[in-house]
Amino acid sequence: MEPIVFDLTLVRHGRTDANRQGIVQGHVDTPLDQLGIIQATRLGRLLSKDRFDFAFSSDLKRAHLTCQLVLSQQVEDDQSKMSPVVRTLKCLRERSYGVGENLSFSQYYQLAADANQGTAYDFVPEGGESLSQLQSRAKEFLEIMYNYATTGSGDELFENCKEESTGPSEKLTQALDSLSDHDKMTIAHTVLKETPFLPEKSSQQSISCIIASHGGFIREFMKLVTCGNPSEDVVSPEFKKLLINSPANTSFTHFTLTMNSPTEFTLTKLHYLYNVSHLNAKE
């Protein structure tokens, strides 16, 4: 089979109240706060003319709603076209922090220090996941994405496999209805794009996907796809320095991945890393 080219846009969820308070979330299913709804909607405006063939998300509500909000801003020239249904997967969840979940960051750092297992990032709390387990989930996602996008197989793996595109979900409608006039003025600082923001598709045959997940998962996912010390033509020196950082809420990363099989892939180009230009717009 010929190699398949994927243009992937990886998005961290919008802010939650736990983010605001500095609380470890992990698998705790926290919702977006009002700022998180605004952030995700602003990203949608930046990407309003970019088209995605498939949409995937963590099944945790903060990531799922973020993806829905982004897609809700899509402006279609052809009204017969619709944004893809957001398919949710447990393998896209944040890292599990076990007994460390719901602790403040300072409490978590103390827990890690008491365990004397290295850095707080490497520390595996009781009942939590290791970084290698998190990367295994990243590999699992790539296999699912490849098989689903190329053959349509694996629909039963999605948490919302029976969901059809019947218009906006109730939670999406509630989130958009919750926006005040002031919120809408803030969102309008990010002007709706008249042309696509993301680079042109790698080829007519390339598959474009948007993926909404979480900070810890995204960091390990990017470590996975950039392993092997890619050349500066693929990953710029500036981006290489940023890879050790955690992405901000609703930051997006856009890259091209060539896949020879569900388990064999090569990073072709890292176009954007942890970009937050939609939040910086002050027009």
Query: Which amino acids are annotated catalytic?
Result: 13, 94
Question: According to DSSP H, which parts of 96-252 are helical?
Answer: 105-115, 131-151, 170-177, 181-187, 215-225, 237-242
Q: What is the DSSP string of 23-90?
A: B--TT--PPB-HHHHHHHHHHHHHTTT---SEEEEESSHHHHHHHHHHHHT---SSTT--PPPEEEEG
CA dist 220 and 215 (Å) reads: 9
CA dist 273 and 235 (Å) reads: 10
DSSP state of 271: E
Residue 32, phi-psi category: left (phi > 0), alpha (psi -120 to 50), beta (remainder)? beta
Name every residue whose Cβ is closer than 8 Å to that of residue 263 and which is 6 or more positions away in sequence: 139, 142, 143
CA dist 166 and 102 (Å) reads: 35
DSSP H/E element including 12: strand 4-12
CA dist 37 and 19 (Å) reads: 13
